[in-house]
Amino acid sequence: DNERASASASASPPHVLIFPLPLQGPVNCMLKLAEMFCLDGLQVTFLNTQYIQKCLLNCTNIESYFQRYPSFRFETLPDGLPEDSSRTANDIFKMLDSMEAVSVPIFEEMVTSGTYGPSSEKPITCIVADGIFCFAVDIAKRIGVPLLYFDTISPCGLWTYLCLPKLIEAGEFPFKGDDLDELIVNVPGMEGFLRRRDLPSFYRTKDLNDPTIQLVLNEDRHLPLAQGLIFNTFEDLEEPILSQMRKISPKIYPIGPLHTHLKTRLATETISNSIWKEDRSCIPWLDMQPIKSVLFVSIGSLAVMTMDQVLEIWYGLVNSGTRFLWVRRPGSVVGLEKEFEIPMDLSLATKERGYIVSWAPQEEVLSHPAIGGFLTHSGWNSTLESIVEGKPMICWPYFVDQQVNSRFVGEIWKLGLDMKDTCDRKIVERMVRELMESKKEEFLQRADQISNVSKASVSKGGCSYKYLDKLIEDIKLMTL
Name the site residues for ligand UDX (rule: CB under 6 A).
23-25, 28, 152-153, 274, 298, 300-303, 327, 359-360, 362-363, 379-382, 385, 400-402
- In angstroms, rounded to a whole number, what is the distance separating the alpha carbons of residues 200 and 123? 39
User: In whole angstroms, how close is the CB of 463 to ligand UDX at the nearest point?
Assistant: 21
- Nearest-approach distance from CB 86 to ligand UDX, in angstroms: 15
What's the DSSP call for residue 203? Answer: G
- Closest by alpha carbon to 376, among 434, 440, 326? 326
Q: How far is the CB of 376 from ligand UDX (least distance, A)?
A: 7
Q: In the bound complex, what is the minimum distance in angstroms from residue 265's beta carbon to ligand UDX?
A: 18
Minimum CB–partner distance for residue 276 and ligand UDX (Å)? 7
**Minimum CB separation from ligand UDX for residue 296, in Å?**
9
State which residue, 43 or 49, has the beta carbon closest to ligand UDX: 49
Residue 254 beta carbon to ligand UDX: minimum distance, rounded to whole angstroms: 15
For ligand UDX, give the closer residue by CB, 23 or 77. 23
Nearer to ligand UDX, 35 or 363 (CB): 363
Residue 296 one-letter amino acid: F
- Closest CB to ligand UDX among 28 and 454? 28
Cβ proximity to ligand UDX, 88 vs 112, nearer residue: 88
**DSSP letter string over 237-299?**
HHHHHHHHHHHH-S-EEE---HHHHHHHH-SSPPPP--SS---TTHHHHHHTSPTT-EEEEE-
Question: Which residues, 6+ apart, have CB-to-CB distance to 429 below 8 Å?
Answer: 315, 316, 317, 319, 320
Helices 104-112 and 136-143 meet at what angle, rounded to 10? 10
Question: Among residues 116 and 355, whose Cβ is nearest to ligand UDX?
Answer: 355
Q: For the packed helices 211-222 and 155-162, what is the interaxial angle rounded to 10 degrees?
A: 100
Strand, coil or helix: 59:
helix
What count of other Cβ atoms lies within 10 Å of the Cβ of residue 434?
Answer: 19
* Shorter beta-carbon distance to ligand UDX: residue 43 or 402: 402
In the bound complex, what is the minimum distance in angstroms from residue 20's beta carbon to ligand UDX? 10
Q: Cβ closer to ligand UDX: 116 or 231? A: 231
Q: How far is the CB of 5 from ligand UDX (least distance, A)?
A: 36
Measured between alpha carbons, how far is 329 from 341 in angstroms, rounded to an integer? 18
Cβ-closest residue to ligand UDX? 379
State which residue, 110 or 393, has the beta carbon closest to ligand UDX. 393
Using DSSP's 3-state secondary structure scheme, residue 372 falls into strand
CA 331/CA 313 separation, integer angstroms: 17
What is the helix (H) or strand (E) element at residue 446, kind and residue range?
helix 440-457
Closest separation in Å from C-beta 380 to ligand UDX: 3
Which residue(s) pair with 154 in the sheet? none
Select from 133, 303, 311 the least CA-distant residue to 222: 133
How many beta carbons lie within 10 A of that of residue 394, not counting itself? 27
Cα separation, 47 vs 15, whole angstroms: 13
- The side-by-side arrangement of strands in the sheet containing 43-49 is 72-77, 43-49, 15-19, 126-130, 147-151, 228-231, 252-254
What's the min distance (Å) between Cβ of 409 and ligand UDX? 13
The widest CA-to-CA distance across the chain, in whole angstroms, is 74
